Structure 1
Amino acid sequence: MSTPPLPGLSRERHTSPSAPNAVRRRPNVYRVLSRVLIAVLVVVQVYPLVWLFLSSVRTEQDFASANPFSLPTSFTLDHFARAFDHADLGRYILNSLIVTLGADALIVVCGLMGAYAIQVLGFRFSNAVRAMFLLGIVVPVQIALVPLFIDYAKVGLLDTYPSMMIPLAGFGLPMSLYLFSSFFGYIPRETYEAASLDGAGPYRIFARITLPLSVNTIVTVVMVNSIFIWNDFVFANTFVLSEGLKTIPVGLQNYIGAMGKTDWTATFAGVCVTVTPLLLVFLVLNKAMIYGLESGATKG
């Protein structure tokens, strides 16, 4: 004699096929909307670069007569040679490279050590010190120009590489310290305790554990700050007085001729030459940068 199925079981059998479908429909809508949003952001970010490269290879007549935003009808590479003739573009690239590497080195060293002392070692009022560093994010760059110019003139730092590196590193340090300290909070405390039980001191723990684990975060900090340092105009234009120390943004002013006339095609070619190295480095290291941002934002 067979027993009738329980009402609860029969209800589950009837409702179970529809439940997964309802669950599946919702993520599909979110996924489509997210992909559309990502596509729009990609177009907004990539289109200016594509337009820049296309404008650098079109002839002057084509750029002046046709719609500047239309596809080029004729191509030439003469603008790149003229870009080097208008100014010492190679020197500007070298100066920007020196300033970027020097400021990045200061940011990484100070950010790593500061975050290690605040987050890992810990001390009294460490949270207050972290808050004071983070206040530097809201400080405008412009208010530091006049005091720094006066101080540099007194100590003889005007028209030198350090006059650009020091303020760039100072304004890039707060966010970098926050990224490093957030990542250090992600490392389990048991790892440090085990190293301490084995007799490792704070310097050895930093060199053997913290520093190797922070490679991706270092790449992230370097790339994020390099973009702003490479494109800096304010500090270079204020503290650099000689032609031989001009960086790329300041040196591109030499493409402005008499009566304010600008050689736009040569300017676009010069910008392409200066942007390409940074763009290639970013494309090579983008995975490490994304991982560093994700790991640095896990705990805060």
Structure 2
Amino acid sequence: MSTQTFTRTPIAPAKEDRPPAPPAARRRPNIHRVLSRVIVLAIAVVQVYPLVWLFLTSVRDEQDFASGNPFGLPTSFTLDNYARAFGQGDIGTYILNSLIVTAGADVLIVVCGMMGAYAIEVLGFRFSNAVRALFLIGIIVPVQIALVPLFIDYTRIDLLDTYPSMIIPLAGFSLPMALYLFSSFFGYIPRETYEAASLDGAGPYRIFARITLPMSVNTVVTVVMVNSIFIWNDFIFANTFVLSEDLKTIPLGLQNYIGAMGKTDWTATFAAVCVTVTPLLLVFLVLNKAMIYGLESGANKG
């Protein structure tokens, strides 16, 4: 009688029971993520450092700034620079004039750019593409070629040395880019939305006020933020069309800190710049909050 010996062969586990092998990307550090964070941190330092250095120089003693390292840390703190800044120039008037010019130009840019883009992109008409191209050509037109013709025209119609003399050209030269941004955004709005509103009896003005305008909040904020920097720092139009002291904007007002033989009171100038930059920073914070709110509202609706 023969005896057979049976050996039990181990059964391999099913593929479904095996734990998944970790991907190669998880087993080594994400180089792209680390590199992107380093780049973002470097950009943030480059953007923030000038503001910090500006503030530190504004509270630095004049002799310390002249004799020591201009980019080093201050050895003493003083607020006399702010007193001299208010004494040498009417900072309040300069800030008010810049706010009026910036707000007026931004309103014109947003209203004209949005309505023009709505007519070209949404309503549509014959030769609309040619009109869009004509507007975009304005981006390459240099500002300097309009100074002499505008000066002559303003003199003839008695518009020289007024707020509109600065607001109109600033808005005009910023309009092509604003129209391009609004047109690009309106192109992403589904056509079915406008067709459904038309079937409900809404006309073009009602569609613009009830659909297009509320959906364009983030684009409006972007246009305002981009153009406000250019308008706030404008020197060439203000220097050409403003003749009186009462209408000087901030870039013109800072010229008062240049003394005889080109001597500049740098610490007082930096103090004045700190004061005049503060309103623009506050406006940007408000606009940034509005943009975040608009993005969150759009995400919640979606």
Query: Is the shorter-chain TM-score for this pair beyond 0.5, marking a shared fold?
Result: yes
* Higher helix content, 1 or 2: 1
Match for residue 21 of structure 2 among 17, 42, 58: 17
Q: In structure 1, what is the Cα distance between the partners aligned to 2:88 and 2:63?
A: 19
Worse overlay, 72-81 or 198-207: 72-81
Match of 1:153 in 2: 155
What amino acid is aligned across from residue 219 of structure 1 in structure 2? V
Choose from 124, 127, 148 the match for 2:126.
Answer: 124
Q: CA deviation at 1:284?
A: 3.2
Which residue of 2 is the match for residue 48 of structure 1? 50
The Cα offsets for residues 56-96 of structure 1, whole Å up to 9 and x where unpaired, read as: 01111211111010011111112112111101111111111
| One of 200, 203, 226 as aligned partner of 1:201 | 203
* Alignment of structure 1 residues 106-121 onto 2, 5 Å: 106-121=108-123
- Conserved 8 A contact 2:82-2:272: yes
With 50-59 and 137-146 compared, the bigger mean Cα shift is at 137-146
Partner of 1:270: 272
Letter in 2 for 1:160: T
1:82 maps to 84
Residue 215 (structure 1) aligns with? 217
- Residue matched to 2:142: 140
Distance 1:3 1:190 in 2: 64
**Following the alignment from structure 1 to structure 2, what is the Cα–Cα distance between the partners of residues 282 and 87?**
25
Give the aligned partner of residue 97 of structure 2: 95
Question: Counterpart amino acid of 2:285?
Answer: L
User: Displacement of 1:23 after TM fit?
Assistant: 7.0
SS at match of 1:42: helix
Whose Rg is larger? Answer: 2
Give the structure 2 partner of residue 297 of structure 1: none
- Letter of the structure 2 residue corresponding to residue 198 of structure 1: D
Amino acid at match of 2:181: L
Could you tell me how far 1:147 is from its partner in structure 2? 1.4
> How large is the RMSD of aligned CA atoms in angstroms?
2.5
User: For 2:33 and 2:133, how far apart are their aligned partners in 1?
Assistant: 37
CA distance in 1, matches of 2:66, 2:139: 42
Q: Secondary structure at the match of 2:187?
A: helix
Q: Which amino acid aligns with 1:217?
A: T
Q: Quick check: 137-146 or 229-238, which moved more?
A: 137-146
Pair 174,25 (structure 1): closer, same or farther in 2 beyond 3 Å = farther
Q: Quick one: distance in 1 between partners of 2:124 and 2:226?
A: 27
Q: Which amino acid is 2:270 matched to?
A: F
Aligned-residue offset at 1:156: 1.4
Kindly report structure 1 stretches of 4+ aligned residues shifted beyond 4 Å: 1-5, 23-26, 287-293
- Given residue 213 of structure 1, which amino acid in structure 2 is its aligned partner? M
What do residues 14-54 of structure 1 show as CA deviations (whole Å, max 9, x unaligned)? 9x625x2237758x211111111111111111111111011
Q: Distance in 1 between matches of 2:163 and 2:286?
A: 28
Structure 1: which amino acid aligns with 2:21?
Answer: P
CA distance in 2, matches of 1:287, 1:174: 26
Q: Structure 1 residues 218 and 41 mapped into 2: Cα distance closer, same or farther (>3 Å)?
A: same
Question: AA paired with 1:58?
Answer: R
Q: CA separation in 2, counterparts of 1:2 and 1:141? A: 87
C-alpha separation in 1, matches of 2:133 and 2:28: 44
Contact 1:58–1:72 at 8 Å: present in 2 too?
yes
Query: After the TM superposition, which of the residue ranges 167-176 and 146-155 deviates more from structure 2?
Result: 146-155
Residue 245 of structure 2: aligned partner: 243
Percent of aligned pairs with the same amino acid: 81
Partner in structure 2 of residue 163 of structure 1 = 165
The size of the alignment, in residue pairs, is 288
CA contact (8 A) 1:223 1:289 kept: no
One-letter amino acid matched to 1:17: A
Give, in whole Å, the separation in 2 of the partners of 1:127 and 1:292. Answer: 30
With over 3 angstroms needed to count, the CA separation of the structure-2 counterparts of 1:4 and 1:136, relative to structure 1, is farther
Question: What's the TM-score once normalised by structure 1's chain length?
Answer: 0.89
